[in-house]
Amino acid sequence: RGIGKAMAIELAKRGAKVAVNYADAVEGAEQVVKEIKALGNGSDAAAFKANVGNVEESEKLMDDVVKHFGELDICCSNSGVVSFGHFQDVTPEEFDRVFNINTRGQFFVAKAAYKRMEKYGRIILMGSITGQAKGVPKHAVYSGSKGAIETFTRCMAIDAGEKKITVNCVAPGGIKTDMYHAVCREYIPDGDK
């Protein structure tokens, strides 16, 4: 759904074989696979279950993708959960939940993908405009988790150069996705309409 679905379909339109990862929403993942196969351009897709907050599941995901498709050329890591509130109200559990998916999860997905890529692969991580902004009220945890992705990207890009693999970060602003609708009313009166 959302940005991940759009990326998967766009890559398929360009001829890629697409692995659609999901943690819980199997129906949504299967729908994306169905839409890709319906393109009729020779592209292929398959759904793979993995919680990217779990390193072992990320490793298995990459193994399964390579086993299914034969190789891994592009990895778009699009995991993300939102957190909104004053930093004084953030619990250790909430902090860990957000950083485990948004930051740690993406780091270890990139690592797992890199190990399985040949030369000229592509790793694309998902940041956020809030990770680049000078400050967003009541967004310290989310913004921090995405800001770390910016730094990871710069460092990983240098390291991955030895295999001529590029590492980039996409940092979208407000896009009307499920995540946007979860917090938009905090920013804009009637923003969820």
CATH class of 66-187: alpha beta
Q: What are phi and psi of 91, to 5 degrees?
A: -90, 160
- Digitized pLDDT (tens) for each residue of the chain, 193 residues in all: 688 899 999 999 999 999 999 998 899 999 999 999 999 898 999 999 999 999 999 999 999 999 999 999 999 999 888 888 899 999 999 999 999 999 999 999 999 999 999 999 999 999 988 777 777 788 899 999 999 999 999 999 999 999 999 999 998 765 555 555 555 555 555 555 5
Q: Which of 17, 79, 83, 146 is catalytic?
A: 146
Of the candidates 191, 121, 192, the residue with the CA atom closest to the CA atom of residue 156? 121
Q: Which of 43, 77, 79, 128 is catalytic?
A: 128
Q: Which of 142, 143, 145, 180 is catalytic?
A: 142
| Cα 155-159-165 angle, rounded to 5 deg | 110
Contacts of 188 by beta carbon, 8 Å cutoff, 6+ apart? none
Of the candidates 186, 190, 185, 180, the residue with the CA atom closest to the CA atom of residue 2? 180
Of the candidates 51, 19, 41, 15, the residue with the CA atom closest to the CA atom of residue 32? 19
Angle between helices 106-116 and 55-69 in degrees, nearest 10: 40
Q: Tell me whether residue 146 is one of the annotated catalytic residues.
A: yes
Name the pTM for this structure: 0.86
Q: What are phi and psi of 78, to 5 degrees?
A: -115, 20
- All CATH 3.40.50.720 domain ranges of the chain, comma separated, are 66-187
